[in-house]
Amino acid sequence: MSQFNWQQYLMDVDDIDPTPVLFGTDTNSAGPRGAQPDDRGTGLNKPRFFCTYCYELGARRVPTFRQKSDWKRHEKSFHETGLEWPCQLNGCVEVFTRVRDLVAHCQSRHGRAPHRDEIVEMPVPPKCVFACGFVNCRNLSASWETRCDHVAMHMRNEHANSSDWRYNRKLLNLLKHCDINPTWRKVKAHWCISRGLESLDTSQLAWDCKETRTMLQQLECHTFGENLEAFLFEVLWLGSPTQSQIDFTEQPQMPTILDGPSPNPPPGAG
Ligand SMILES: [Zn+2]
Ligand SMILES: [Zn+2]
Ligand SMILES: [Zn+2]
């Protein structure tokens, strides 16, 4: 927890813009860093880059961008700020990545601006892995830069749009990280044994984006503590739609994993 910058807060309050709209029309967008050559020349004026975070959060209008640089700037300055502000009012559990969004939330949801001591800035640990969320993609990136290049590639070259983006895919990809996957497979096997199931179809798992915010962060920062197994059981539990009632045996084409992890899982498994 770091010292709160009151001057910055006042500036932010003057500049509340909780509802991002279409950013691609910004004529100042070719700022100092300018448009990348690869951002131009195809697709004419059609915005191809959409904010994956706004989409996941269920924004009424997902911002789209013509320039990769504008898209990247938005995702960074709105969603990957490296800081967060939990709402402290009335037992609320919402968390924001910008102080102005917290203030706007307090005003609209709780009917008043937060007091000075109700604004607590929390640093997010550095993220060591980022996952792609496009269906059928299993990509993990070790840095924000490579992640952005990768995700932008789908949007630019494959014209992938928000209907192809899955929060669940992002989470499942994070579970494929080599430090996590062997334990994840073990946990899935135990889950099946304890429920008398032959196998577990992970495509039937579904996580709520807001409910699992901290969990996703732990998977990106590798801050799940000493007991990875217990952590992954919780991940599985939260992703199970009816939390243990679902019949996973209706997917006979899935490979059986009771023999423990195999050294080279087939692409697309799990
Ligand atoms: Zn956004
Ligand atoms: Zn709140
Ligand atoms: Zn991808």
pLDDT in tens, 159-184: 999 999 999 999 999 999 999 999 99
- Cα distances (Å, whole numbers) of residue 221 to 26, 142, 176, 214: 33, 11, 14, 10
pLDDT at 67: 95
Residue 174 lies in a domain: yes
Residue 142 lies in a domain: no
Per the listing, tokens 């494929």 go with 176
Question: How close is the Cα of 108 to the center of ligand 3, in Å?
Answer: 36
Residues bordering ligand 3, an ion, CB closer than 5 Å: 132, 134, 137, 139
- Cα distances (Å, whole numbers) of residue 96 to 12, 28, 105, 155, 258: 14, 27, 9, 26, 41
The CA dihedral of 257, 263, 268, 270, to the nearest 10 degrees, is 30
Q: Which ligand is nearest to the CA of 118?
A: 2
Residues 120, 171, single domain; the answer is: no
Name the average pLDDT for the chain: 80
Residues 13, 109, single domain; the answer is: yes
pTM of the predicted protein model: 0.73
Residues 28, 111, single domain; the answer is: yes
Q: Which amino acid, one-letter code, is at 47?
A: P
Question: How close is the Cα of 228 to the center of ligand 3, in Å?
Answer: 26
- Cα distances (Å, whole numbers) of residue 7 to 14, 30, 84, 219, 263: 11, 29, 18, 34, 55
Question: How close is the Cα of 21 to the center of ligand 3, in Å?
Answer: 25
Q: Which ligand is nearest to the CA of 89?
A: 2
* Closest of 134, 228, 126 to residue 183, by C-alpha: 228
DSSP tag of 211: T
Residue 140 lies in a domain: no
pLDDT at 243: 52
* Closest of 59, 72, 83 to residue 29, by C-alpha: 72
Distance CA 114, CA 118 (A): 6
* Closest of 147, 149, 168, 151 to residue 160, by C-alpha: 151
Residues 13, 106, single domain; the answer is: yes
Residue 264 lies in a domain: no
Residues 115, 189, single domain; the answer is: no
Distance CA 198, CA 144 (A): 38
- Cα distances (Å, whole numbers) of residue 94 to 91, 106, 207: 9, 10, 17
Residues 12, 120, single domain; the answer is: yes
Residue 181 lies in a domain: yes
Residues 224, 116, single domain; the answer is: no
pLDDT at 36: 43
pLDDT in tens, 26-85: 333 333 343 444 444 455 567 799 999 999 999 999 999 999 999 999 999 999 999 999
Residues 109, 174, single domain; the answer is: no
More confident: 139 or 19:
139
Question: How close is the Cα of 69 to the center of ligand 1, in Å?
Answer: 14
Residues 104, 185, single domain; the answer is: no
Range of the domain at 194: 167-250
H or E segment at 229? Answer: helix 228-239
Instruction: Report the domain count for the chain.
Output: 2
